[in-house]
């Protein structure tokens, strides 16, 4: 019953290569490990035979003994969002260049699944995990993942005294003050006085932090606090709520959106349905600087989160932790800056 054809369907192993090349199985292992000492001619022979047999070392077996899976887990709430997918793209590219494969997980909007998901992910033994403050409770993160030290992307209140002096894991903190100050200054310079803040998902730490910082900066510049337009980061909600606000709520002459996609929704509502001009009647600023923001229909002035900078910082954290697993937690910070286009002045 051991049909050789079926048997042939399975992968080649190091043993088969060894037997074919008339060497020991250990030699095969060494041939594939650059740092192992093996006679060069022997290595060449083995690699040649391996190629003929279409042999590739089994990462699962390898990871069991080395303790390295070469997997990095990434947890994202919505892969299809422009910002999320652009970050995922940058991160996957960077990881791949370092020899890691991306293990992708998608959360639901609520946090109800986070424990199940993390537990499941843990089974794959990722060398590192990138999680975002919005999607996973930090306590769950710390409890479930004991082996891989996760990286937590957060948006701290830069001015507030950080209570958590000793973070549980490596972090990337995004400092949003600078970009927000530049944006408010620009809008004020062009005459904006009554601001609205178009929110993101209410349970999102990023949007909460952005709103607090906008309020603070407005106060510092002697401007009244912003009115609040509800939102959830989506175009449709932003469109609808902007419409609603301009028809029923207090008039405003500037909108600070929690993300670019929301800003697009607001702009389209203003122009298409309300007959208002951007930037002449209402000034709009977004957050993220996704690719779409420079599209001519929007040409959005926005607070940029530099993707390259973020990605490099995350990669540094991962590699450092892998090189020295017991080193104390480190927090990297990245800043933000305004990208000026056509929706303010």
**Listed residue (57, 75, 71) closest to 14, CA to CA:** 57
**Residue 337, burial from CB neighbour count under 10 angstroms (0-12, 13-18, 19+):** middle
For residue 20 the two structure tokens come to 């074919």
Q: Does 20 bind DNA (CB under 7 A)?
A: no
Which of these segments, 6-14, 151-159, 161-169, 209-217, binds a second copy (CB under 8 A)? 6-14
What does the alpha-carbon distance between residue 102 and residue 123 come to, in Å, rounded to a whole number? 15
Count of residues interacting with a second copy (CB under 8 A): 65
**Smallest gap from residue 105 Cβ to DNA (A):** 20
Question: Kind and range of the H or E element at 73?
Answer: strand 71-76
Our CB check for a second copy shows the closer of 32 and 195 to be 32
The correct pick among 19, 62, 70, 320 for binding DNA (CB under 7 A) is: 62
Our CB check for DNA shows the closer of 50 and 223 to be 50
The correct pick among 4, 34, 40, 328 for binding DNA (CB under 7 A) is: 40
What's the Cα-to-Cα distance from 18 to each of 7, 205, 224, rounded to whole Å?
Answer: 18, 55, 76
Our CB check for a second copy shows the closer of 149 and 184 to be 149
Find how far residue 82's CA is from the centre of its chain.
11
**Listed residue (152, 140, 144, 99) closest to 125, CA to CA:** 144
What does the alpha-carbon distance between residue 344 and residue 87 come to, in Å, rounded to a whole number? 26
Which residues are within 8 A (CB) of 286 and not within 5 positions of it... i.e. 6 or more apart? 257, 259, 260, 262, 263, 264, 293, 300, 301, 302, 303
Which of these segments, 19-27, 78-86, 248-256, 273-281, binds DNA (CB under 7 A)? 19-27
Our CB check for a second copy shows the closer of 182 and 293 to be 293
What does the alpha-carbon distance between residue 94 and residue 189 come to, in Å, rounded to a whole number? 39
Binding-residue pattern over the window 84 to 103 for a second copy, x denoting contact by CB under 8 A:
xxx-xxx-xx--x----xxx
Our CB check for DNA shows the closer of 30 and 321 to be 30
Q: Of how many residues is the chain composed?
A: 345
Q: Does 61 bind DNA (CB under 7 A)?
A: yes
Place of tokens 């077996």: 61
The correct pick among 26, 36, 39, 56 for binding a second copy (CB under 8 A) is: 56
Q: Does 38 bind DNA (CB under 7 A)?
A: yes
What's the Cα-to-Cα distance from 85 to each of 82, 202, 231, 268, rounded to whole Å?
Answer: 5, 21, 20, 23
Which of these segments, 21-29, 64-72, 130-138, 313-321, binds a second copy (CB under 8 A)? 64-72
State the residues that interact with DNA by CB under 7 A: 10-11, 13-15, 23-30, 32-33, 36-40, 42, 55-58, 61-62, 64-66
State the residues that interact with a second copy by CB under 8 A: 6, 9-11, 54, 56-61, 63-64, 67, 69, 71, 78-82, 84-86, 88-90, 92-93, 96, 101-106, 119-125, 143-144, 146-147, 235, 239, 264-265, 267-269, 271-273, 291-292, 295-298, 325-326
């Amino acid at each position: 019953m051991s049909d050789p054809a079926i048997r042939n369907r399975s992968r080649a192993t190091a043993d088969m290569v060894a037997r074919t090349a008339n060497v020991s199985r250990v030699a095969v292992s060494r041939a594939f490990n650059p740092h192992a000492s093996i006679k060069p001619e022997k290595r060449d022979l083995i690699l040649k035979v391996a190629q003929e047999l279409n042999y590739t070392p089994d990462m699962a077996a390898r990871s069991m003994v080395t303790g390295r899976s070469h997997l990095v887990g990434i947890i994202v709430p919505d892969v299809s969002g422009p910002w999320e997918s652009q970050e995922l793209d940058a991160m996957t590219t960077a990881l791949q260049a370092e020899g890691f494969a991306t293990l992708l997980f998608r959360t639901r909007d609520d946090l109800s699944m986070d424990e199940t998901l993390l537990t499941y992910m843990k089974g794959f033994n990722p060398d590192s995990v990138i999680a975002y403050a919005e999607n996973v409770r930090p306590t769950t993160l710390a409890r479930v993942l004991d082996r891989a030290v996760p990286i937590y992307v957060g948006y701290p209140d830069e001015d507030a005294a950080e209570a958590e002096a000793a973070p549980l894991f490596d972090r990337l903190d995004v400092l949003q003050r600078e970009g927000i100050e530049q944006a408010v200054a620009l809008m004020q310079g062009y005459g904006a006085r009554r601001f609205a803040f178009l929110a993101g998902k209410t349970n999102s730490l990023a949007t909460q932090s952005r709103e607090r910082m906008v309020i603070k900066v407005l106060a510092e510049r002697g401007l009244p606090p912003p009115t609040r337009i509800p939102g959830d980061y989506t175009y449709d909600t932003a469109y609808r709520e902007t419409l609603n606000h301009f028809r029923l709520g207090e008039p405003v002459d500037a909108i600070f959106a929690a993300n670019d996609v929301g800003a697009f929704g607001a702009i389209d509502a203003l122009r298409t349905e309300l007959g208002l001009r951007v930037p002449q009647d209402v000034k709009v600023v977004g957050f993220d600087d996704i690719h779409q923001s420079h599209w001519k229909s929007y040409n959005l002035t926005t607070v940029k989160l530099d993707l390259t900078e973020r990605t490099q910082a995350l990669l540094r954290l991962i590699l450092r932790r892998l090189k020295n697993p017991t080193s104390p937690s480190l927090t990297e910070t990245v800043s933000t800056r305004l990208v000026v286009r056509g929706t303010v002045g």
